[in-house]
């Protein structure tokens, strides 16, 4: 009786080991028959105590043979499975679809900046760069913004404490050290307009320049305002340059980027470095002019300031205002980018949130 059971266990185990195709299942089979507590062979051996001494000897010997047989068959199978696994690795099919590797891409602001600079380059504009840590002289004085003049309050400034180099600045949220000379009083530029002055030190009219870059303002943030944002400055100087040239250039730009139906609105404004000055708004494309948090409810977005370059500024550029005239503009790149892609909060751009960046 017990002999039959042992032989049946052996046959069943042999059959199962023969057909097994992976290591996990093989381990389960070994446990099922040889496991210390619940193994089928172990259970039979536990019942030997009821047999006579003679039977114990015979059955014990047979049980041991069955155990050794199962173990050696399992060993053989392990070898066989190892060889198969190695062969599979060697014959790896390189045409199988692999895992997709995520690659980075340009930030939407960079993508958009390239798009808009391309439009100006196609109109014959040259791209010029300038420093982000600027002197008070270039940021204000040479742009016809006198000291103590209330117009300086238009741009809430991050000053850099005296004695600091632009490479390791320490910010001062006050008005800076008034004793210090504006030539070496440093600040984080509040607009890209100072690049106009720097660019004209090395050029003579006629010029068509664009100056994209990062600017900084100490002000409260909301859906449409950041303390760090981007502007693109434009400057055209030549003989007989007129206000209509400015409006025509801006209209061409807006229609090229946003399509023929894009509307702009021009309002009179004041900038100390342009006369006359205008402010240009665009229909808020987030709410299509209905009014939303981004446009502050009035359906228009203030996108740029512009005007005819003030004669005093032309003189600071060593240009004769009787011979030459020019126009300048400074647009908020972030706000235009938001209108272009339908982004409703400027702060998302600088949040570092990959869920936002990956949409572009």
- Which three-class secondary structure state does DSSP give residue 206? coil
Buried-state track 104-130, b at ≥16 Cβ within 10 A, e below 16: eeeebbeebbeebbebbeeeebeebeb
Cα distances from 77 to residues 30, 67, 222, in angstroms, run 11, 15, 69
* Least distance from ligand FA5 to the Cβ atom of residue 283, Å: 14
For residue 13 the two structure tokens come to 């185990």
Cβ proximity to ligand FA5: between 66 and 317 the closer is 317
* Least distance from ligand FA5 to the Cβ atom of residue 214, Å: 11
One of 208, 226, 237, 294 touching ligand FA5 (CB under 6 A): 226
Cβ proximity to ligand FA5: between 59 and 295 the closer is 295
From 340, 286, 281, 284, select the one nearest 305 (Cα to Cα). Answer: 281
Cα distance between residue 115 and residue 306, in whole Å? 21
Query: Binding to ligand FA5 by residue 219, rule CB under 6 A?
Result: yes
* DSSP-derived secondary structure for 239-306: TT--HHHHHHHHHHHHHHHH-TT--EEEEEEEETTEEEEEEEEEE-TTTTTS--TTTTTSSEEEEEEE
From 201, 200, 218, 217, select the one nearest 209 (Cα to Cα). Answer: 200
The C-alpha R_g of the chain, in whole angstroms, comes to: 40
Query: Binding to ligand FA5 by residue 74, rule CB under 6 A?
Result: no
From 176, 174, 271, 157, select the one nearest 216 (Cα to Cα). Answer: 157
Cβ proximity to ligand FA5: between 40 and 279 the closer is 279
Whether a cis peptide bond, with omega within 30° of 0, leads into 206 is: yes
Query: Binding to ligand FA5 by residue 335, rule CB under 6 A?
Result: yes
One of 59, 120, 334, 349 touching ligand FA5 (CB under 6 A): 334
Query: Binding to ligand FA5 by residue 141, rule CB under 6 A?
Result: no
Query: Binding to ligand FA5 by residue 152, rule CB under 6 A?
Result: no
Question: Which one of the spans 37-45, 86-94, 285-293, 305-313 is the region binding ligand FA5 (CB under 6 A)?
Answer: 305-313
Do the beta carbons of residue 89 and residue 36 sit within 8 Å?
no
Question: Which one of the spans 10-18, 179-187, 315-323, 330-338 is the region binding ligand FA5 (CB under 6 A)?
Answer: 330-338
One of 193, 316, 325, 349 touching ligand FA5 (CB under 6 A): 193
Cα distance between residue 307 and residue 277, in whole Å? 4
Cβ proximity to ligand FA5: between 213 and 332 the closer is 332
Query: Binding to ligand FA5 by residue 225, rule CB under 6 A?
Result: yes
* Least distance from ligand FA5 to the Cβ atom of residue 273, Å: 6
- Which three-class secondary structure state does DSSP give residue 307? strand
Please report, as residue ranges, which positions from 267 to 286 form the binding site for ligand FA5 (by CB under 6 A).
271, 274, 277
* Least distance from ligand FA5 to the Cβ atom of residue 217, Å: 5
Cβ proximity to ligand FA5: between 130 and 307 the closer is 307
One of 211, 264, 328, 337 touching ligand FA5 (CB under 6 A): 328
Query: Binding to ligand FA5 by residue 222, rule CB under 6 A?
Result: no
Let me know how long the chain is.
360
One of 9, 26, 59, 304 touching ligand FA5 (CB under 6 A): 304
Residue 12 burial (CB count, 10 A): 15
Cβ proximity to ligand FA5: between 125 and 229 the closer is 229
Please name every residue paired with 226 in a beta bridge, in sequence order, or none if there are none. none
Residue number of the CB atom closest to ligand FA5:
332
The residues of the shown chain that bind ligand FA5, judged by CB under 6 A, are: 191, 193, 217, 219, 225-226, 229, 231, 233, 271, 274, 277, 302-307, 328-330, 332, 334-335, 346
């Amino acid at each position: 009786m017990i002999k039959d059971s042992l032989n049946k266990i052996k046959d069943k185990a042999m059959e199962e080991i023969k057909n097994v195709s992976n290591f996990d299942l093989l381990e389960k089979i070994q446990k099922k028959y040889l496991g210390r507590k619940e193994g089928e062979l172990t259970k039979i051996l536990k019942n030997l105590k009821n047999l006579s001494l003679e039977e114990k000897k015979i059955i014990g010997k047979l049980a041991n043979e069955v155990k050794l047989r199962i173990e050696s068959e399992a060993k053989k199978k392990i070898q066989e499975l190892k060889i198969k696994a190695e062969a599979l690795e060697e014959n790896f099919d390189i045409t199988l679809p692999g895992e997709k590797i995520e690659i980075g891409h340009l930030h939407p602001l960079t993508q958009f900046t390239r798009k808009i600079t391309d439009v100006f380059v196609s109109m014959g504009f040259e791209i010029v760069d300038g420093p982000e840590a600027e002197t008070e002289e270039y940021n204000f004085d040479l742009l016809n913004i006198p000291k103590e003049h209330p117009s300086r309050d238009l741009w809430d400034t991050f000053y850099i404490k005296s004695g600091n180099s632009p490479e390791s600045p320490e910010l001062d949220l006050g008005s800076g050290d008034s004793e210090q000379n504006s030539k070496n009083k440093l600040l984080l530029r509040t607009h890209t307009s100072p690049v106009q002055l720097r660019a004209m030190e090395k050029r003579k009219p006629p010029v068509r320049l664009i100056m994209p870059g990062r600017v900084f303002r100490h002000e409260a943030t909301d859906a449409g305002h950041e303390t760090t944002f981007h502007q693109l400055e434009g400057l055209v100087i030549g003989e007989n340059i007129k206000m209509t040239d400015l409006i025509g250039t801006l209209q061409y730009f807006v229609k090229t980027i946003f399509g023929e139906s894009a509307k702009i609105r021009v309002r009179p404004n004041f900038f100390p470095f342009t006369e006359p000055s205008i402010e240009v708004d665009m229909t808020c494309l987030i709410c299509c002019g209905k009014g939303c948090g981004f446009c502050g409810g009035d359906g228009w977005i203030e996108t740029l300031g512009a005007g005819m370059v003030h004669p005093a500024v032309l003189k600071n550029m060593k240009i004769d205002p009787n011979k030459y005239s020019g126009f300048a503009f400074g647009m908020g790149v972030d706000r235009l980018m938001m209108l272009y892609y339908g982004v409703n909060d400027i702060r998302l751009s600088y949040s570092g949130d990959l869920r936002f960046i990956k949409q572009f």
